[in-house]
Amino acid sequence: MRHKLIKYATVTALAVTSLCAQTPQWKDPSPHQVHFVRVEDGVQLEVLDWGGSGRALVLLTGSGHSAHIFDDLAVKLTRFSHVYAITRRGYGASSHPDSGYGAQRLGDDVLTVLDSLHIDSPVLAGHSLGGKELTALASAHPNRAAGLIYMDSTADPTFDWGPYMELRKKLPHTMNTGYPKTSPEDRRSFQAYREWQMRSLGMAFPESELRNVYATNSDGSVGEYRTPVSVQNAITAGMRKPDYSGIRVPVLAFFTLPASLEKQVERYQPRTAEERAAMEQVLAWEFDFARRAIDRMRSDVPAATVVELPGANHYIFFSNESEVLLQIRQFVTTLR
């Protein structure tokens, strides 16, 4: 079989840090092996392997991330599964080709990794954009995975957000400022950047993740984002409305829901009745968007296990780690 003949290189985490232009003093502390798998001519993907016992569990990242975003979570998942994660093409230490960013091609990349590393009947778990790859692979190869886990990864990219964005203009100013920008001081080191993330977002990515997706300047400060915007544009252009009707394996699906109006009012303090009314309308839109996604999943996969997480961060494996670990453990360990 062609995929079985594909060779891959195994290197140490320290070697990968040099490939990623890491500063010499820093070593990736995560206890994983790093493989590079050739998925087509001139294209290799980084695959992290944390080991562990039990069924294979393969993690797929959201948009903009490398497999190192799972460095903290993966170690805890090894208690009941053999854990891998894949950095898709265009990101981190994987190859950055000019093409191959459609959902089916990205799904085929995952299939090639599974075949190359002889990973049989795995559970595939995708965060955010990773859900598109889950669906593409499982629909085209319904017997290749033992189960699928969607981690807030079922959004409809064809949804018309125009009216919603117009409505948001009426919200309190503090709800529309977005993430605060970093200062040069915040970027003087990767640790300083993580401290900025904690202050601004209430969570921080593993340092290994930051070092894989951002360049490292000669003075050790955080450089430019390494993936060109053309890659994200190519991925977005290939997105279609989710269709889970071809899935024939068990599914666990996590969905985030917005925080209640009372909590949002307490946090953002609307100054006028109009601002509060806008908050109510925006909240209704967001609930409707989430409910559409949940209903679509339940309609296409009636037996799916659906877990709703009100007020959770999109990065549910940070904001709701304990519940995510519990649900994944129950799902993985009860599969036949």
In angstroms, the CA 217 to CA 221 distance is 5
Instruction: Give the strand pairing for 43-51 and 56-60.
Output: unpaired
Quote the pLDDT of residue 2: 39
**Phi-psi group of 318: left, alpha or beta (phi > 0 → left; psi -120 to 50 → alpha; rest → beta):** alpha
Residue 309: which domain range? 2-156+230-262+293-333
Residue 276 lies in a domain: no
pLDDT of residue 62: 95
Is 328 a member of any domain? yes
- Which pLDDT score, from 0 to 100, does residue 238 have? 78
309 against 24, higher pLDDT? 309
- Count the domains in the chain: 1
Within a domain: 103: yes
The model's confidence at residue 149, banded by pLDDT at 50, 70 and 90, is very high
Q: Model's pTM, two decimal places? A: 0.90
Give me the DSSP letters along 238-262. Answer: T------TT--S-EEEEEEEPPPHH
Check the CA dihedral 182-184-189-192 and report its sign: negative
Residue 215 lies in a domain: no
Whether 274 maps to a domain, the answer reads no
- Count other C-beta atoms under 10 Å from residue 233's C-beta: 11
How far is the C-alpha of 203 from the C-alpha of 314, rounded, in Å?
11
pLDDT tier for residue 4 given thresholds of 50, 70 and 90: very low
* pLDDT tens digits for range 196-221: 999 988 999 999 999 999 999 999 99
Mean pLDDT of the chain: 90
pLDDT, position 19: 44
pLDDT at site 180? 79
pLDDT at 250 over 50: yes
Side-chain half-sphere exposure of 333, counting CA atoms within 13 A: 12
Q: Please give the pLDDT value at position 24.
A: 60
Residue 23 has pLDDT above 60, yes or no: no
**Which range has the worst mean pLDDT, 92-106, 152-166, 297-311?**
152-166
CA–CA separation, 61 vs 27, rounded Å? Answer: 22
In a domain, 301, yes or no: yes
Does 251 map to a domain? yes
- Per-residue pLDDT reduced to its tens digit, 72-94: 999 999 999 999 999 999 999 99
What would the pLDDT profile of 39-75 be if each residue is shown by its tens digit? 999 999 999 999 999 999 999 999 999 999 999 999 9
Query: What is the average pLDDT across 254-262?
Result: 94
Percent of the chain with pLDDT over 70: 92
Query: Would 131 be classed as within a structural domain?
Result: yes
Label residue 11 by pLDDT band (50, 70, 90).
Answer: very low
CATH code (residue 135): 3.40.50.1820
Helices (H), 78-152: 103-116, 130-140
